[in-house]
Chain A
């Protein structure tokens, strides 16, 4: 079954409360998100899900040179950054989009839906 990455985006300039107006709103959203994730699991869509620490905690590694070069911070300077994700298995894009809509509502952020490469698409890419 096709696998999709549902990524949640969050404003980069948000403070400790992230995109939420208050502590309560944050707790409420976390609870809703938990319910949504539990539903994905119950219905057999969930492969895995998690949230990420803010981009200030990221380290970027470039290992292409002789010695790996380390940089403090995220690779991309963006106004919005990846806050968390779900990996789901769904029969087609329509189902994935429906799940993403519910996930977006729960976590109060836009969700990007992106298919994972499949064995078939990799084979096509390699021309085998």
Chain B
């Protein structure tokens, strides 16, 4: 286990969302201080952990010291008032805790050096294209030498400040498994000397793809499963959007970062209309569009527009997230389902299929074909797909689509209630 655990007892070792929530219940006589605390946890957690991780080179020290600082804040702010600069206060307190911890834990040379580094307030030299500790931490958590599961868990833990219990619940994994994954990943980062750095320009694309995949996975876990017993999952989608905003802030010129954020915002915007009063999933074609979130839509459309302009001006070709965001933008631009510009959707799926000819993409493309050119053309496309990929025979979505297209063939496909866009709730 990490050495950190042998230190003096920490009153509130894990100040994640949940402990903060419990504290709100304990002292609701001063909602101002606790609101400030929740907000600070939201805004400053990643910054504090990331800064300490860089300066100590030790994720456990960083995390535990940050948790201690938030615990102290939870105790003091309601009594003494919220400091003028909550972020600065938390950083100073966490730094002091880290110095104490390093001193207490070990007399070893390296630890002493780290303790000394923590007192050095001079700004550090940038070690990558963008110098932000949080970005460095994102790339460390999503290092390709870690397992994909570990990347997700670490990112949510260290950047999102989610508790182990929350991460475990979100991914329906036992808490012990999640805890072990995080511990092992941290041990590997330490033992194998995975660097805290932003990759150089030459390999940023590869590494960034891993980062975006993690964020999108978190989002999908939160969004697609947002029904039934797993009530906490919308939080996870919000968390992914927050991570997406953070990446956008850190890498404002990256098209795929903008694309992913746009895609998530445009998907998220439809959430209020996604379930009926009885909790049933409502497909895109049947959703009450007046219930879509206008603010999120505007933000998502702005991102897509920005990328369209960049590409039109000769910028790099759009990647998968930009194309998917553009599809979502076409859908959400239509006032009514029947006004959807399916030709535009089809063109985007053509581009997506060239980039990623996976069965899922091809199936979605077949749906676009049926909407743009009629059910018969769509059905022919599905049959062709099935002939080329026999493995798809076991894929239920294909059979659903096929059945729907067979039905639609004999019905006017513009009749309300004919569901041909099943995959796009």
Interface positions of A (Cβ within 8 A of B): 2, 4, 91-94, 96-97, 113-115, 117-118, 120-121, 123-124, 127
* A92–B193 CA distance with the chains assembled, in angstroms: 5
Which parts of B184-212 form the interface with A (CB within 8 Å)? 190-195, 197, 199
- Beta-carbon contact of B110 and A120 below 8 Å: yes
Known contacts A120-B108, A120-B110; A97 and B195 CB within 8 A of each other: no
Q: Which of B110, B192, B197, B199 has the most CB of A within 10 A?
A: B192
**Which residue of chain A has the shortest Cβ distance to B143 in the bound complex?**
A93
- Distance between B185 CB and nearest chain A CB, rounded to angstroms: 13
A93's partner among B3, B108, B110, B193 (CB-CB below 8 A) is: B193
- Distance between A77 CB and nearest chain B CB, rounded to angstroms: 26
- Distance between A78 CB and nearest chain B CB, rounded to angstroms: 22
B192's partner among A93, A120, A123, A124 (CB-CB below 8 A) is: A93
Write out the residue numbers on chain B whose beta carbons fall within 8 Å of the beta carbon of A123.
108
- Beta-carbon contact of A97 and B145 below 8 Å: yes
- Beta-carbon contact of A92 and B3 below 8 Å: no
Closest 10 CB pairs of A and B: A92-B195, A2-B193, A115-B192, A92-B193, A93-B192, A93-B194, A115-B191, A93-B193, A94-B195, A124-B3
* A120–B192 CA distance with the chains assembled, in angstroms: 13
- Beta-carbon contact of A121 and B191 below 8 Å: yes
Q: How many residues of B contact A (CB 8 A)?
A: 14
- Distance between B108 CB and nearest chain A CB, rounded to angstroms: 7
**Which residue of chain A has the shortest Cβ distance to B2 in the bound complex?**
A124
- Distance between B105 CB and nearest chain A CB, rounded to angstroms: 10
**Which residue of chain A has the shortest Cβ distance to B107 in the bound complex?**
A128
- Distance between A63 CB and nearest chain B CB, rounded to angstroms: 28
Write out the residue numbers on chain A whose beta carbons fall within 8 Å of the beta carbon of B193.
2, 91-93, 115
- Distance between A68 CB and nearest chain B CB, rounded to angstroms: 32
* A118–B191 CA distance with the chains assembled, in angstroms: 8
Write out the residue numbers on chain A whose beta carbons fall within 8 Å of the beta carbon of B197.
94
Write out the residue numbers on chain A whose beta carbons fall within 8 Å of the beta carbon of B192.
2, 4, 93, 96, 113-115
B194's partner among A92, A114, A118, A121 (CB-CB below 8 A) is: A92
* A113–B191 CA distance with the chains assembled, in angstroms: 12
Write out the residue numbers on chain A whose beta carbons fall within 8 Å of the beta carbon of B110.
120
- Distance between A112 CB and nearest chain B CB, rounded to angstroms: 12
* A123–B109 CA distance with the chains assembled, in angstroms: 12
- Distance between B411 CB and nearest chain A CB, rounded to angstroms: 55
Write out the residue numbers on chain B whose beta carbons fall within 8 Å of the beta carbon of A92.
193-195
Write out the residue numbers on chain A whose beta carbons fall within 8 Å of the beta carbon of B145.
93, 97
Write out the residue numbers on chain B whose beta carbons fall within 8 Å of the beta carbon of A94.
194-195, 197, 199
**Which residue of chain A has the shortest Cβ distance to B191 in the bound complex?**
A115
* A117–B187 CA distance with the chains assembled, in angstroms: 12
Cβ contacts A to B, 16 pairs, < 8 Å: A2-B193, A4-B192, A91-B193, A92-B193, A92-B195, A93-B145, A93-B195, A94-B195, A94-B197, A96-B192, A97-B145, A113-B192, A120-B110, A121-B190, A124-B3, A127-B6
- Distance between A38 CB and nearest chain B CB, rounded to angstroms: 24
Write out the residue numbers on chain A whose beta carbons fall within 8 Å of the beta carbon of B6.
127
